[in-house]
Amino acid sequence: MGDNQNSVLAAEYPAISDSKPVSRPRRPYWVITAERIFEGIIRLSGVSAIIFVLAIFFFVFKEAVPVLFSDNFNITQFLTSTKWYPTSAVNVRYGTFSLIIGSFSVTILAMLIAVPFGLGAAIYISEFCNKKLKETLKIIIELLAAIPSVVWGFIGMTVMSKLIVNFTNAPVGVNLLNGGLILAFMSVPIIVSIGEDALKAVPDSYREAALAMGTTKWQMIYRVLIPAAKNGLLAAVLLGIGRAVGETMAVLMATGHSVHIPLSFLDSIRTLTANIAAELGEAPAGSEHYRVLFLTGVLLFCITFIVNLTADLVIRGVRRK
Amino acid sequence: MRNPEAYKLQICTSQFFPSVARLVVAAFLISLASCGNKHGMEKINKSATIQVKGSDTMVNLAQAWAEEYKVVKPAVEIEVSGGGSGVGIAALIKGTISIANASRNMKQGEIDLAKKNTGKTPIEYIVGYDALAIYVHKDNPIEEITLEQLAQIYVENGTVKKWSQLGIKIPGAKSDKILRVSRQSSSGTYEFFRERVLNNKDFELGSLDMNGSKEVVELVGNAKTAIGYSGMGYATGHVKMLKIKNSDGMTCLPTIENTQNGNYPLARSLLLYTLDEPQGETKVYLEWTMSEAGQKIVAVNGYVPIPPGKTDSIKIQL
């Protein structure tokens, strides 16, 4: 019986019996080549983000750099003077301080409004609402995030500015308050979705343990959940800030476009981004004004880079835990 | 169960069909268009192209002329582009265009350069006027303003900040502060205002800088304490134009008559420049822009036409 089986095997698979090395069946060459090509493409798309960021920074910096050595330009004046007169006939001055203050003031105002709302919404969606409502809310919040910024700007310019004039004694409705509200509306969806993810990442055992200790739901949230998810929540806030600092179109339309350090919420302002958008189109290419606008771009790049880097480091902190 | 092949085929056709349909429609439209062209081509033979370039203030007017001229004389094509008065004049000096639009006069340096480069003399034609009106909200009781007051409102470190300083109390306004509405620094109107009203000094920062003539008027119409400047063609029911008071006490509104007779101080000429006496189609076109039909388009676009009977004095050899 055994012998018989062996001989059958030997007849069918000669390789087994005489143990000579035999080449494995190979896949066709074109399959292998195609695989390699796709591997290359995928690798390239992975690396491309780095290349793009470096290339953008390089080109923006390259356009800006000659002005650093110009006689009319002085980096201290650029950062600390409030006098922005790029096209003056008698005395050209490039001071961006009011623009920097403009950008920061509108961002801070937006965050003061958006952070409590955003985190509150994240906690509600993650902890309090039932499953059906949760899905609905998440879809609606994603929809809110998808509204283009020019539409927000339009809302600011028409609806919001009328409301502000009616309810305050502002002479004109396009101002810091308007821009701050619009930016808050734009950053809330980001804060909500990332904040909700951070809360979801907290293991249920934490909740169960807290409740088992006899805490109320509220105590569980602010004594256990928020400390456990604090890195993720901070990252949500920082990404919201990044969105607000870099936003252009909406603030261009809603803030009144006035170079001016705001003394109240009802003053009009101009931000760094809006200034570039408004002036770059008509500054003659290669002129000093053009280069200073690119330098403003570098400044903005640095600000958003710092914000995003902080957010990234914080997120990494979350992962390590 | 469905046969997978048939299913695939169905997907193919359903995706394919709309694009086929679109192609058919597009082809149909193209053939229609080319038919139209062919019909046109039989009758007219494009005999000349006139290149026009320059002032952004005038680009709408130049486009309107070009459109109308297509009807008047289909054989001649007018190609219009903007870029600014300086760009147009530079192109004229280089010899790449036949007509330059300008909302400012050619500078002496540019005239010399043109003569040196081309050996030709630039000729200036006044084809209309643009008057800059000072706008306030319709509820504002102010009626007239001097250029000096206007300068003190707008100039860097100016002294007039409140309406009460001009003796004005606006009914229903919540604030006394003058809300200055201006244009962004790249605008030709901004430069014109700076030159004529501020004597080339700088604006005080903190004005609301709008990026269009229409936006200025719109904002002034919505804000009771606002003042702004914009072309006279942009007036609406929500705003009021101010009379400007000259040094001799005469006041005048930016009207067509006051612009034409030179009484209104914030007016500028709309100019065309050519090199030497234009020939052929260019000459015919220039004459047409200054004819009654051409001047009607000037008025329709919100500018001031040349007064009839003054048409002989509008050509200046530089």
Model confidence over A261-305: pLDDT tens digits?
A: 999 888 899 999 999 988 887 677 778 888 999 999 999 988 888
Residue of A306 and B8 predicted with greater confidence: A306
Instruction: Note whether B202 contacts A174, CB cutoff 8 Å.
Output: no
From the list A172, A258, A281, the residue facing B209 with the nearest CB is A258
Residue B234 near residue B254 (C-beta atoms within 8 A): no
In chain A, whose CA is at the least distance from the CA of B175? Answer: A171
Contacts of B200 in chain A (CB under 8 A): 89-90
A-B contacts (CB, under 8 Å)? 71
A162 token code pair: 């009328």
Say whether pLDDT at B158 is over 70: yes
From the list A84, A87, A260, the residue facing B186 with the nearest CB is A87
Q: Picking from A24-28, A211-215, A289-293, B113-117, which range would have the lowest pLDDT averaged per residue?
A: A24-28
The per-residue pLDDT of chain A, averaged, comes to 87
SS (H, E, C) chain A: CHHHHHHHHHHHCHHHHHCCCCCCCCCCHHHHHHHHHHHHHHHHHHHHHHHHHHHHHHHHHHHHHHHHHCCCCCHHHHHHCCCEECCCCCCCEECCHHHHHHHHHHHHHHHHHHHHHHHHHHHHHHHHCCHHHHHHHHHHHHHHHCCCHHHHHHHHHHHHHHHHHHHCCCCCCCCHHHHHHHHHHHHHHHHHHHHHHHHHCCCHHHHHHHHHCCCCHHHHHHHHHHHHCHHHHHHHHHHHHHHHHHCCHHHHHHCECCCCCCCCCCCCECCHHHHHHHHHHHCCCCCHHHHHHHHHHHHHHHHHHHHHHHHHHHHHHHHHC
Q: What is the pLDDT of residue B43?
A: 44
B:161-200 residues touching chain A, CB 8 A cutoff: 173-175, 177, 179, 184-186, 191, 194-195, 200
Q: What is the pLDDT of residue A172?
A: 85
Say whether pLDDT at B12 is over 50: no
Instruction: Note whether A165 contacts B206, CB cutoff 8 Å.
Output: no
Interface predicted TM-score (ipTM) of this complex, two decimals: 0.73
Q: Taking residues A67-81, what's their average pLDDT?
A: 87
Say whether pLDDT at B313 is over 90: no
Q: What is the pLDDT of residue B136?
A: 94
Instruction: Specify the fold of A84-320.
Output: MetI-like fold (1.10.3720)
Q: What is the pLDDT of residue B246?
A: 82
Contacts of B185 in chain A (CB under 8 A): 85-87, 279
From the list A90, A172, A279, the residue facing B179 with the nearest CB is A172
CA distances to A83, A92, A275, B27, B61 from A67, in Å: 17, 13, 18, 52, 37
Model confidence over A103-133: pLDDT tens digits?
A: 999 999 999 999 999 999 999 999 998 999 9
Contacts of B173 in chain A (CB under 8 A): 171
Model confidence over A136-154: pLDDT tens digits?
A: 999 999 999 899 999 999 9
How many angstroms separate the CA of residue A162 from the nearest CA in chain B?
9
From the list A84, A87, A172, the residue facing B223 with the nearest CB is A172
The per-residue pLDDT of chain B, averaged, comes to 81
CA distances to A56, B126, B186, B193, B283 from B89, in Å: 35, 15, 18, 21, 18
Contacts of B186 in chain A (CB under 8 A): 87, 279, 281-283
Instruction: Note whether B186 contacts A282, CB cutoff 8 Å.
Output: yes
**Maximum CA extent, chain B:** 97
Highest mean pLDDT, choosing among A113-122, A160-169, B16-25, B187-196: A113-122
**pTM higher than 0.80 for the full model?**
no
A5 token code pair: 């089986």
Q: Where are the domains of chain A?
A: 29-69, 84-320
How many angstroms separate the CA of residue A71 from the nearest CA in chain B?
20
The span from the CA of A150 to the CA of A141, in Å, is 18
Single out the residue of B205, B207, B211, B156 nearest to residue B188, CA to CA.
B211
CA distances to A282, B23, B32 from B28, in Å: 41, 8, 6
Single out the residue of B261, B198, B200, B268 nearest to residue B232, CA to CA.
B268
